[in-house]
Amino acid sequence: MRPGSLFAALILPFALALAVLSGSASPATAAVEVNINQGNVEPLPIAIPPFAGRDQRSQNVGAQLAQVISSNLQRSGFFRPLDPNSFIERNLDVSVQPKFEDWKVINAQALVNGSVTTEADGRLRVDFRIWDVYNGQQLQGLQFLSTPENWRRIAHKISDVVYKRLTGEEGYFDTRIVFVAESGPKTARVKRLAIMDQDGANPSYLTDGSYMVMTPRFSTTDQEITYMALRADSARVYLFNIETARQETIGDFPGVVFAPRFSPDGAKVAFSVDRAGNSDVYLMDLRSRQSTRLTNDPSIDTSPSFSPDGTRIAFNSDRGGSPQLYVMNADGSGARRISPPGSGRYTTPVWSPKGDFIAFTKQTGGQFHIGVMRPDGSDERILTTSYLDEGPTWAPNGRVLMFFRETEGGASRLWTVDISGRNAQLAPYPSAGSDPAWSPLLK
């Protein structure tokens, strides 16, 4: 990441046209499918040859599209893209049915092929089809039209279409991650707000490192984030629009202001304010700038996270003697503990965008874990264990969590894990980072 790229990689308007390709109609059900909810998933062998192009430039784009789609699908853990060197049929034409026998021989169960064309107006047109190799059927055929600099986003959108067609769940590839890029020794760490595509491409800094930033979170409706800035004598929460780079505080509260998170409609921010050693949860309406105090308890109350329907808020409190997870109504009433008794210290509850789980950080026996439980506290699953795992964030499809892991004496790195606990891996960001937050699907 270059310091010079400050604000350089903001989101480009994605004027995208989508069309259904003509050809054989999609069958109602596909024989080729990944059941991502069964106990042991065998990744689906899939062939993604370079997309065809009439000229060299189109062919280059076509090769890169296939690479980006392949690595997206591979990282999901549900697909096994086959080595293009093993392909028998070459130079496929997207308007012609492939030779299925050639793909069966190499055990490809699905095939994605496509073509890249530069239109007369300079736009990039990408046609692609998803094939069920064993049944010899087209599963889907679509066309994307956009400006050439958007080619990566086209690749992500195609990845999302393939993922959805073959797993039945929404994709999450056309998304970004806002996080904290870390540098320097532990006792003098520099923490800068940073953003990148979910696959690690287009990283850029949003703050210059002259003050510490923490806990950035995306608005669920907008390209807006909220985060906390810590200076020698102040701790404040900010709003930041990543399209306009406009930044403002949510108000000059006396005391330490921290732990911000948007409501699902983007109209409010829940956060904590500490006054005289007592942290409580507040809610601010961003239009009226009126804030309401939601908790009023001498304990620590922090880390609020809304349910996706906006009716409830999960939060962290030590009112019972140690940090545990609680859920209350969005007006602050009816708080009750959901984390099980005698099982460890629970913090950072984050409600899944699907509403079915709450992710958290848990401490037991000197180790940290990322886990999920139902909003009523049942069905707890521990997904990871290390010296320090912290701060889960949900992919918009509610299937994948990103978090950060610090090994003993090592740098903090971004990781992802499936909610089944499988497929824990380093996120595609090569340097030290923490506090990731996943964007919703881009518009």
Partner 1 sequence: MPLTLRSAVNSVVVLAALLALGACATPKPEGPAPVPPPPTAPTPPPARPLPPAQPPIARGPIPGSVEDFVVSAGDRIYFDFDQYSVRPDGRLVLDLQAAWLNRYPGVQVRIEGNCDERGTREYNLALGARRAESVRAYLVSRGVNASRITTISYGKERPIDSGTNEDAWAKNRNGHTTLVSGAR
What proportions of the chain, in percent to the nearest 5, are helix, strand and coil?
15, 40, 45
Cα 136 from Cα 138, distance rounded (Å): 7
- Considering only residues 137, 207, 347, 393, which one is a binding residue for partner 1 as defined by CB under 8 A? 347
Task: Give SS3 for 66.
Answer: helix
What string of DSSP letters covers 115-136? EEEE-TTS-EEEEEEEEETTTT
CB 124 within 8 A of CB 147: yes
| Residue 324 in the binding site for partner 1 (CB under 8 A) | no
**Binders of partner 1 among 24-63, rule CB under 8 A?**
none
Stretch that binds partner 1, among 1-9, 16-24, 30-38, 316-324 (CB under 8 A): 316-324
Q: Does 365 bind partner 1 (CB under 8 A)?
A: no
Burial status of residue 423 (CB atoms within 10 A of its CB: 0-12, 13-18, 19 or more): middle
Interface with partner 1: number of residues (CB under 8 A): 44
- Is residue 4 within the footprint of partner 1 (CB under 8 A)? no
Tell the smallest beta-carbon distance from residue 358 to partner 1 (Å): 15
Work out the angle at residue 398's Cα, subtended by the Cα atoms of residues 392 and 403, and round it to the nearest 5 degrees.
15
| Binder among 62, 114, 203, 323 for partner 1 (CB under 8 A) | 323
Residue 39 or 409 with smaller CB distance to partner 1:
409
Q: How many CB atoms lie within 10 A of CB 233?
A: 5
Partners of residue 45 on adjacent β-strands? 80
Interface with partner 1, residue 408, by CB under 8 A: yes
Burial class (CB in 10 A: 0-12, 13-18, 19+), 258: buried
Nearest CB to partner 1, comparing residues 132 and 280: 280
Distances (CA, A) of 88 to 82, 102, 139, 333: 12, 6, 21, 64
Site string for partner 1, 219-238 (x = CB under 8 A): -----------x-xxxx---
Binding positions for partner 1, 162-221, rule CB under 8 A: 185-187, 189, 191, 212, 214-215
Q: Is 258 in the site for partner 1 (CB under 8 A)?
A: yes
Q: Which listed residue (219, 302, 352, 416) binds partner 1 by CB under 8 A?
A: 302
Which residue in the set 388, 411, 422, 441 belongs to the binding site for partner 1 (CB under 8 A)? 388
Q: What are the b/e assignments for 106-116, b being 16+ CB within 10 Å?
A: eebbbbbbbbb
User: By the criterion CB under 8 A, which residues form the site for partner 1?
Assistant: 185-187, 189, 191, 212, 214-215, 230, 232-235, 255-256, 258-259, 272, 274, 276-279, 300, 302-303, 316, 318, 322-323, 345, 347-348, 361, 363, 366, 387-388, 390-391, 406, 408-409, 435
